[in-house]
Amino acid sequence: MQFPVNIFPASSSINSQGSMTVDGIEITTIANSYGTPVMVYSAKDMISETTKFVEDFDRVFFSMKSAPIIGIAQLVNSAGAGCNVAGDGELQVALRAGINPQNILVHGNNKSEADIASALQAGVCRLVVEDEHECDRIERIAQDLGIEKVEVQLRVTPGVEAHTHEAIMTGAIDSKFGSAIEKGIARRVCDRIVGSQTLKLRGFHCHIGSQIFDTKPMAQAAKILAGFFVDLHKDYLAKGIEIDINEINVGGGFGIQYELQDDPPSTIEMARAVKSAVDQVCVANDLHHIEVWVEPGRAIVGRAGVSVYRVGSVKEIPGVRKYVAVDGGMSDNLRPAIYGAVHLAWVDGKSGIHQDGVFTIAGKHCEEGDKLANDASLPDNVDVDDLIVMASTGAYSFAMSSNYNMLTRPAVVLVDSSNENPVREIVRRETIDDILSRQHN
Ligand SMILES: Cc1ncc(COP(=O)(O)O)c(C=O)c1O
């Protein structure tokens, strides 16, 4: 296999000794210093992806759920993005990263009282409300805290299908998220907000799914939100009600390349499609100065991160299958097990040099379904102690990691050649004591 340059971090390459490097640092050096499994992120990649969004959209809020790590939040913030958080835990990551609360959006279906109170006390930029119950709760908590005004966006479901995995498709009407535009539900919630003394409606939000590979569904969703906004504006105007809404937030979902044949649109292509859909509707109705906000997660961190494992055993069941077992698995990357996600694998110092065979990469969990890759192309001579680097694991691996089988979670290392300290641990490896500290004897 050729080194898949479009899938591993843009700053990675194979050096003259045949070893993989990320921003000039050999993977072997990192594995030897920090142990395995270890996650390695390229700062250069994350900065460059964030910059594209910041240049192409009006406001950008990095989706913390994709990689809730202080060091990453600081980095994307330095490139001009705020954060969107789902609940108080992620909010605390953003605040510890030093992100100005006016650059933080708070999401979450069924936000708890603690989530809401914490967001209001921090003074976040917007709460993205889901329904009337939440309006009641936010009003009550704001009153208790003596807060007079809470600026909100309403999360609506535009009824657009994003043609992606069912578990990550959230914009269709039958969704646990938001209020449907169809059937007049979103309109009812708008009336509830507009009639409130405390809540101030500033815009609409939708998130139609993840790994979107086509500009059309996102543009279509933006158009539906814009149409909803225009109708609402006219209607309230006719009733003599003034509203000050100018935000259309189309969420995240920007696809990245995991497999060789994947071909997602570029950020600028998405931006053009979405903005022109909004303009077509709003400018035509004399509504100017509409801002388009986005919340990318995967597109910023997905390709920037790789997971490095050490091989513990190799076995062949003649005529059936060849297995390579590594020292991590579904506890540090759940995506292959739950979504059937594919991550390309590279054996450091051997892939690209030796002839490929077909292997299943098995994790070390006591679970038959714990496979990090099926039918992966790996060099035939892959062996015990080799390092396997799995591509594009930067999004939703750390975030969904667990202690299944009481495995400790990996260290996370940031590589940044522009820093005087080019290799920096941003999350230390978990210890058994960390896990057991919650248990009583
Ligand atoms: C509301 C919201 N915004 C943004 C995102 C980020 O999505 P992605 O990482 O696919 O860009 C998600 C992910 O599910 C989400 O639920």
pLDDT (tens digit per residue) in 32-42 = 999 999 999 99
CA 299 to ligand 1: nearest atom = 11
Q: How confident is the model at residue 168 (pLDDT cuts 50, 70, 90)?
A: low
Q: Is there an atom of ligand 1 within 6 Å of 255 CB?
A: no
Mean pLDDT of the region 290-319: 97
Arithmetic mean of pLDDT over the chain: 95
Identify the band that residue 316 occupies on the pLDDT scale cut at 50, 70 and 90: very high
pLDDT at position 166 is 58
DSSP strands (E only) in 296-370: 305-317, 321-326, 345-347, 356-362
Least confident window among 149-163, 272-286, 374-388, 394-408: 149-163
Instruction: Measure 391 CA to ligand 1 centroid, in angstroms.
Output: 20
Q: By percentage, how much of the chain surpasses pLDDT 70?
A: 98
pLDDT of residue 167: 55
DSSP state at residue 322: E
Q: Helix (H, G, I), strand (E, B), or coil: what is residue 136?
A: helix
Q: What average pLDDT does the segment 218-224 reach?
A: 95
Q: What is the pTM of this model?
A: 0.96
User: CATH topology for 43-298?
Assistant: TIM Barrel (3.20.20)
Q: Is the CB of 253 under 6 A from ligand 1?
A: yes
Q: What is the pLDDT of residue 430?
A: 98
Q: Which atom of ligand 1 is nearest to the CA of 128?
A: 1
How far apart are the CA of 209 and the centre of ligand 1, in A? 7
Q: How confident is the model at residue 75 (pLDDT cuts 50, 70, 90)?
A: very high
Closest residue by Cα to atom 5, ligand 1, is 252
Ligand 1 pocket member 299 (CB < 6 A) = yes
Asked whether 298 lines ligand 1 (CB < 6 A), one says yes
pLDDT in tens, 382-404: 999 999 999 999 999 999 999 99
Q: Which residue has the higher pLDDT, 164 or 48?
A: 48
* Ligand 1 centroid from CA 386, angstroms: 35
282 is catalytic: no
Among 83, 206, 282, 366, the active-site one is 366
Is it the case that residue 260 has pLDDT exceeding 70? yes
Question: Which residues make up the CATH 3.20.20.10 domain(s) of the chain?
Answer: 43-298
Residue 183 pLDDT class (50, 70, 90 cuts): confident
Beta strand extents in 227-290 (DSSP E only): 247-249
Q: Where in the chain is the domain with CATH 2.40.37.10?
A: 12-35+304-436
Residue 426 has pLDDT above 90, yes or no: yes
Spatial distance between the Cα atoms of 209 and 193, rounded to a whole number of angstroms: 26
Q: What is the pLDDT of residue 227?
A: 95
- State yes or no: pLDDT of 169 exceeds 70: no
C-alpha 253/C-alpha 179 separation (Å) is: 19
By C-alpha distance, which of 360, 427, 389 is closest to 3? 389
Confidence at residue 201, expressed as pLDDT on a 0 to 100 scale: 97
227 C-alpha to center of ligand 1: Å? 23
Superfamily of domain 12-35+304-436: Lyase, Ornithine Decarboxylase; Chain A, domain 1 (2.40.37.10)
Mean pLDDT of 320-349: 97
**Residue of 340, 168, 94 whose CA lies nearest to 106:** 94
Mean pLDDT of 182-196: 94
Q: What confidence score (pLDDT) does residue 289 get?
A: 87
3-state secondary structure 186-229: HHHHHHHHHCCCCEEEEEEECCCCCCECCHHHHHHHHHHHHHHH
Q: In angstroms, rounded to a whole number, what is the distance separating the alpha carbons of residues 244 and 233? A: 9
For residues 168 and 201, the model is more confident at 201
Q: Which of 358, 240, 266, 361 is nearest to 308 (CA)?
A: 361
